[in-house]
Chain A
Amino acid sequence: MLADLPILSLITFSPLLGLLVLLFLPKQRSRWIKVTAITATLLPLLLSLWLYADYNGVKGGKPYEETATWISTSLNKEAVGDVSSYTLELQYHMGVDGLSMPLLLLTTIVGVMAALASVHIKKRWKSFYIWFLLLEVGMIGVFLARDVFLFFVFFEMTLIPMFFLIGIWGYMNREQAANKFLIYNGIGSAIMLLAFVFLVATAGFRADPLPDQQQMHLSYSGSYDVIGSNLADKDAYVNMPQLAQGADNPLYLSDRMHWVIFLLLLIAFGIKLPIFPFHTWMLKVHAEAPPSVVMIHSGVLLKMGAYGLLRFGVFMFPSQTHDWATVLAILGVINILYGAVLALVQKEFKLVLAYSSISHMGIVLLGIASLNEIGLHGAIIQLVSHGFISALLFLIVGSIYARTGSTELKDLGGLARSMPFLSGVLLTAGMASLGLPGLSGFIGEFLSLLGLFDSMRVITGIAVLGVILTAVYVLRSVLGITFGAVPERLAAVRDVRLVEAVPMIALLAFIVLIGVYPAVLTEPMQHGFDTLLQQLSEKAGR
């Protein structure tokens, strides 16, 4: 039944339905606007849950894919060799596999929770939610797109709404933060686009014989599968040096070019991830964007960096990744320790969390650098887990700010007395963040470290120091907020309302669920992900 529906497109574009309704609502009707927007985020959640349920059932069956030709133009290009005509075909190609399924669920779940958390937004609800829903379309699309240009379009689609969400609804220095965000990420996107153009122009071709059987028709496309298989196949046209060809091979991608593209992708996605030293933009976003937007930003948008690195960097360039595994691991360790030490001295809770994100993304890099089944599972679980945890933490930040008007650590204290529920949730989220077993953080962290330990003992040993430092900064900040004496000013604050408690409990439930029963993530990951892994180990020459 589900197979007959264009389910992936429905999931991606269902938020637009809400957007359409919003357009016709008068902007003063804040209640209607909120209800509509929250409902609109529920649509992709329900659809993706449906997909998830169906997906697990048809193990080994046909993967979900949807294709349509999007742009097709014939290229006026000189005929070379057997090739007589060229076309450029950009496909609308969506697909889901073990790599994207967990992240799709993360996105749709965090989307709903962030929409609920946006009740703290004080002004211009209508345009806020319009941008919000557009952002969600972009995020979902990123994880489902299977064509590099489609991916790029969705990727860009997240930038513009984020720019406005930060710039209009943020805190004091919101405009500066928004500019920095847009420009820095724009540079990243430009680099990514360059890499993609290289890929399409070289590896992204499919050769079809013309009816006369003599001449070939070459169609360029951004298809992930085509590029991937051309790059992987040693005998593919693109990998055959000019000399071996006998004649001129216009599509030849030299080894050096492989490296160039790989590095471009590493930088492009490294900015998003973020990898040290490209992280400064995200500190501003964490500090200046409204908490519900940071839930999306830290919970989902940062994951696009790691996802892109995995899908385009690691799986398309396995031998480059393999050669640079040590570099990736070292970058990961730097992220972990640098983020942790800096989180230790921050005075503003949001910045503690920002540096903590840097530290936790370092663990993802470690998992990727392991290049084995355990570590890569760890990396993806860590992505999802960190998404839920940081979304929950910023949800709490929003609730705290709404009551106390501050998230400076020195202004806060003793909240456990007046807000026992919120404090309990904060403490649990903190525990999840520092990798307490039984909660989701541990699974990702443990698997990443275990995977890396096989090939890099010493680096793993150093990374484990991060485990200790994480405990220090989490407890310092969380206990600083919840324990101790209550400042006079905060004695009368009220605990959370139902509308805040519901997303908190929901996110906590997912964190506990993954921690106790990790099969909820590992099971869908078996689809497609295992074949990717197999290819990876073959190609990496292991």
Chain B
Amino acid sequence: MDTTFSQAAWLIPLFPLAAFLLLLAFGRSSRMIGVLLGSVSSLAGFVLSLLVLIEHMTKGQHDYQYAVKWIDTGSIVFKAGFEVTNLTALMLVVVTAVSFLVNVYSAGYMKGDERISVFYSYVALFTFSMLGLVLADNMLTLYVFWELVGVCSFLLVGFWFSKPEARAAAKKAFIVTRIGDAGLLLGILLLYWYMPDHALDFVRIGNAFEGGTGVIAASVTTWIAILIFIGAVGKSGQFPLHVWLPDAMEGPTPISALIHAATMVAAGVYLVARTFDIFQASQTAMDIVAYIGGFTAIFAATIGVAQNDIKRILAYSTVSQLGYMMMALGLNSMTGGIFHLFTHAFFKALLFLGAGSVIHAVHTQNIQEMGGLGSKMKITAWTFGIGALALSGIPPFSGFWSKDMILNIAYHEKPALFVIGVVAAFFTAFYMARLFFLVFMGKPKGERHAHESPPSMTGPLIVLAVLAVVAGFVQTPWNDTLGNWLTDGAEQENGGGGLVMVISAAIGLLGLYMGWLVFVKGMISRDFVSSRAPWLVRLLERKYYIDELYEAAIVRPLRALGGLLNGIDDYVVDGLVRAAGGAAFLIGRGGTRMQNGQVQTYGLITAFALVILIAAVALRRFW
């Protein structure tokens, strides 16, 4: 057999790992070493990933899997390995591409931060972990990297650790995703004991569940699917575990682009796609995925309308778009989910990096304090505009094609979700219009010395803008390239969604138009809603009070329980121990008291004891 690039795919994560280790050892010696190692290692990974992808596109390369022993308890072996499929090849390119661009961008954005080498080492560790997650050939290996990306996310959210908000956000990110991870862990335990031969690799999982062969009982399948989905819900910020993602915006903006928009948060979608056979074997699980996804899409989009922090708006947008992806998966379209993941990775990374460029210039994140930046930051404004159009689903930008595909499927499968998707699309366009017009149009406020960012930052913006325009053409209603390739022809897109396409484009344009009317023309007053239904605005601003709810329903009771148990531990459990000790002491003292050297006392005790003894012997008869 000829050696192929796929066989060398295990090298891809090793580049950033090497960068991480080198930075760990020598990071303190120079400030430039981080930029250099980070960029070079991710570029190397990107080149190799691209070769792997090309190989998979042109030659019809077969999946390649290789695994080694990891945990060996004698008769039971857990393996660790990698597998290259079309899906993983695509993900590899997305991850390495965005990672490389973010590495370059950060050279400008993080310039002047004294811990820039630490930053780059974390990014390298993250890239390694994310690539490991993508390449993993079995559930256990995937779980290992799944946790590692979580830790990297945590480290980077808390990068500016002196800020109390960053500390709180990092903690929250870790703990909330950990709830999901516990679900995933249980899913793996269940899978292990039910799989034939206790296999955990995706190939055999696929075989066991494919086509509902009944190797594994239906109820168990549903349980496994739901538990895995809980993991995905945590990682991909789906309702009700979405609360960490907006707070994670405390991290440096390049991180928001890389981890909290393009790659890690999409890992949940990837996980569901990777174990799609399990989900397909359980209609219940599929429905749950679809409805949670659809609900999250509209839920987060409405919150996005009322936020004022530029990054939080984008974060809620990410939550909402991930909801679309989940919805597509739940509607039995892997292509739809992955396609949207693919386009979203580029245009959302673009939007975050654009937002970073803005923040870099004006040093605030509040869009109410910005304005008129379009003339001062032409590249940022133009590229951000392209990203906004792609997100809003305006043809021919990439987001239009992927969102249209999802809506088209929903239209055919579950009309209710189609309606939800369309309404959410309207809000999406509206909040992006609001964001864009408030930041780039109108009169300048506050910071008057805003200027365009350095080329290291605008360069990645331009590259991503190009991708945001063209990435959608891999899959259009007339051309099933991606779907055919990804699912081996299993998913044929039901074309001819002309009506859906018109609706989808129209609703996006309507949202933008409304935004234009409100925030540029002023035809509709900005407080049109807040003057009529202040509670509604408050509700959205407070994000439906979900955080408060969790605080009251989980955090406080848990703390109270801790306090209560602490008291019990001290006074009851240890109290009994002390009481036992005290009793022994008292008995001893009593004994001492009796032996006081007075014959009268001894006589009394002796007589008393004799009475008891006689009574005992006498009473024993009646027993």
Which residues of chain A have a CB within 8 Å of any CB of chain B?
A: 183-184, 276-277, 279-281, 283, 338, 341-342, 344-346, 373-374, 377, 414, 416-417, 431, 436-438, 442-443, 446-447, 449-450, 453-454, 460-461, 464-465, 467-468, 471-472, 475-476, 479, 482-486, 518-519, 522-523, 525-526, 529-530, 533
Q: In the A-B complex, list the 5 residue pairs whose CB atoms are closest, starting with the nearest.
A: A345-B562, A437-B144, A280-B574, A483-B167, A483-B161
Contact flags B376-400 to A (C-beta < 8 A → 1, else 0): 0000000000000000000000000
> What is the size category of the interface that chain B forms with chain A?
35 or more
* B190: chain A residues within 8 A (beta carbon): 453
Please state if B573 and A280 are interface contacts (CB–CB under 8 Å): yes
B254, chain A: closest CB distance, angstroms: 21
Please state if B565 and A483 are interface contacts (CB–CB under 8 Å): no
B113 is an interface residue with CB less than 8 A from chain A? no
Contact flags B311-339 to A (C-beta < 8 A → 1, else 0): 00000000000000000000000000000
Please state if A437 and B143 are interface contacts (CB–CB under 8 Å): yes
B561, chain A: closest CB distance, angstroms: 6
Distance of A338 Cα from B568 Cα, bound (Å): 11
Please state if A483 and B569 are interface contacts (CB–CB under 8 Å): no
State which of B34-42, B168-176, B211-219, B519-527 sits at the interface with chain A: B168-176
Contact flags B492-525 to A (C-beta < 8 A → 1, else 0): 0000000000000000000000000000000000
A273, chain B: closest CB distance, angstroms: 15
Distance of A342 Cα from B566 Cα, bound (Å): 6
Contact flags B178-194 to A (C-beta < 8 A → 1, else 0): 11011001100110110
CB contacts under 8 Å to A, within B545-567, are: 558-559, 561-563, 565-566
Residue of B nearest to A461 (CB): B186
Choose from A437, A464, A533 the contact partner of B148 (Cβ within 8 Å): A437
* A483: chain B residues within 8 A (beta carbon): 158, 161-162, 166-167, 170
A101, chain B: closest CB distance, angstroms: 14
Residue of B nearest to A376 (CB): B73
* A476: chain B residues within 8 A (beta carbon): 171
Please state if B577 and A450 are interface contacts (CB–CB under 8 Å): no
* A465: chain B residues within 8 A (beta carbon): 182
B84, chain A: closest CB distance, angstroms: 22
Q: List 11 A-B contacts (CB under 8 A).
A: A280-B574, A342-B562, A345-B562, A374-B76, A414-B161, A464-B186, A475-B170, A483-B158, A483-B167, A519-B72, A529-B74
B581 is an interface residue with CB less than 8 A from chain A? yes
Residue of B nearest to A452 (CB): B189
Residue of B nearest to A187 (CB): B580
Residue of B nearest to A279 (CB): B573
Choose from A373, A416, A471, A533 the contact partner of B178 (Cβ within 8 Å): A471
Known: A437-B148, A468-B179, A484-B164. A479 touches B158 (CB 8 A): yes
Distance of A177 Cα from B69 Cα, bound (Å): 47
Choose from B71, B561, B569 the contact partner of A447 (Cβ within 8 Å): B71
B151 is an interface residue with CB less than 8 A from chain A? yes
Distance of A104 Cα from B291 Cα, bound (Å): 54
B70 is an interface residue with CB less than 8 A from chain A? yes
B55 is an interface residue with CB less than 8 A from chain A? no
Please state if A475 and B71 are interface contacts (CB–CB under 8 Å): no
Which of B74, B151, B179 lies at the interface centre, i.e. has the most chain A CB atoms within 10 A of its CB? B74
B147 is an interface residue with CB less than 8 A from chain A? yes
Distance of A443 Cα from B192 Cα, bound (Å): 16
Contact flags B62-84 to A (C-beta < 8 A → 1, else 0): 00000001111111100000000
Please state if B573 and A277 are interface contacts (CB–CB under 8 Å): yes
Contact flags B111-153 to A (C-beta < 8 A → 1, else 0): 0000000000000000000000000000000011101100100
Distance of A431 Cα from B144 Cα, bound (Å): 13
Known interface pairs A437-B145, A442-B144, A522-B73; 18 further A-B residue pairs with C-beta atoms within 8 A, sorted by A's residue number: A279-B573, A280-B574, A338-B565, A342-B562, A342-B566, A373-B75, A374-B76, A436-B151, A437-B143, A438-B147, A454-B193, A465-B182, A468-B178, A468-B182, A476-B171, A482-B161, A485-B162, A519-B71
Please state if A443 and B170 are interface contacts (CB–CB under 8 Å): no
Known: A437-B144, A485-B162. A373 touches B74 (CB 8 A): yes
Please state if B162 and A344 are interface contacts (CB–CB under 8 Å): no
Please state if A183 and B581 are interface contacts (CB–CB under 8 Å): yes
Residue of A nearest to B132 (CB): A438
Distance of A280 Cα from B72 Cα, bound (Å): 37
Known: A438-B144, A449-B185. A344 touches B171 (CB 8 A): no
Please state if A438 and B148 are interface contacts (CB–CB under 8 Å): yes
* B162: chain A residues within 8 A (beta carbon): 414, 417, 483-486
Choose from B147, B171, B561 the contact partner of A436 (Cβ within 8 Å): B147
Choose from B174, B185, B562 the contact partner of A464 (Cβ within 8 Å): B185
* A183: chain B residues within 8 A (beta carbon): 581
Distance of A437 Cα from B161 Cα, bound (Å): 24
* B569: chain A residues within 8 A (beta carbon): 280, 342
* B577: chain A residues within 8 A (beta carbon): 184, 280-281
* A281: chain B residues within 8 A (beta carbon): 577
Residue of B nearest to A476 (CB): B171
Choose from A277, A416, A438, A519 the contact partner of B161 (Cβ within 8 Å): A416
Distance of A522 Cα from B565 Cα, bound (Å): 38
B555, chain A: closest CB distance, angstroms: 9
Distance of A431 Cα from B154 Cα, bound (Å): 11
Choose from B73, B143, B558 the contact partner of A377 (Cβ within 8 Å): B73
Known: A449-B185, A518-B71. A475 touches B76 (CB 8 A): no
B386, chain A: closest CB distance, angstroms: 38
Distance of A277 Cα from B189 Cα, bound (Å): 30
Choose from B170, B181, B559, B573 the contact partner of A345 (Cβ within 8 Å): B559
A147, chain B: closest CB distance, angstroms: 28
B107, chain A: closest CB distance, angstroms: 22
Residue of B nearest to A340 (CB): B562
Distance of A80 Cα from B346 Cα, bound (Å): 89
Distance of A519 Cα from B574 Cα, bound (Å): 41
Residue of A nearest to B69 (CB): A519
Residue of A nearest to B562 (CB): A345
Residue of A nearest to B555 (CB): A472
Please state if B185 and A341 are interface contacts (CB–CB under 8 Å): no
B252, chain A: closest CB distance, angstroms: 15
Choose from A184, A283, A443, A479 the contact partner of B167 (Cβ within 8 Å): A479
Please state if B189 and A345 are interface contacts (CB–CB under 8 Å): no
B384, chain A: closest CB distance, angstroms: 32
Distance of A437 Cα from B145 Cα, bound (Å): 8
Contact flags B559-592 to A (C-beta < 8 A → 1, else 0): 1011101100100011011000100000000000
* B151: chain A residues within 8 A (beta carbon): 431, 436
Distance of A533 Cα from B178 Cα, bound (Å): 34
* B76: chain A residues within 8 A (beta carbon): 373-374
Please state if B147 and A443 are interface contacts (CB–CB under 8 Å): no
Please state if A341 and B167 are interface contacts (CB–CB under 8 Å): no
* A443: chain B residues within 8 A (beta carbon): 71
Residue of A nearest to B185 (CB): A464
Please state if A522 and B72 are interface contacts (CB–CB under 8 Å): yes
Distance of A485 Cα from B164 Cα, bound (Å): 7
Please state if B167 and A449 are interface contacts (CB–CB under 8 Å): no
Please state if A479 and B573 are interface contacts (CB–CB under 8 Å): no
Distance of A390 Cα from B617 Cα, bound (Å): 58
Known: A417-B162, A522-B72. A453 touches B182 (CB 8 A): no
A482, chain B: closest CB distance, angstroms: 7
Known: A342-B565, A475-B175. A437 touches B147 (CB 8 A): yes
Please state if A344 and B170 are interface contacts (CB–CB under 8 Å): no
Distance of A377 Cα from B574 Cα, bound (Å): 33
* A453: chain B residues within 8 A (beta carbon): 189-190, 192-193
Distance of A280 Cα from B575 Cα, bound (Å): 10
Distance of A58 Cα from B160 Cα, bound (Å): 53
Please state if A450 and B189 are interface contacts (CB–CB under 8 Å): yes
Please state if A374 and B73 are interface contacts (CB–CB under 8 Å): yes
Which of B143, B145, B161 lies at the interface centre, i.e. has the most chain A CB atoms within 10 A of its CB? B161
* B175: chain A residues within 8 A (beta carbon): 468, 471-472, 475
* A485: chain B residues within 8 A (beta carbon): 162, 164
Distance of A483 Cα from B164 Cα, bound (Å): 8
Choose from A276, A471, A484, A525 the contact partner of B174 (Cβ within 8 Å): A471
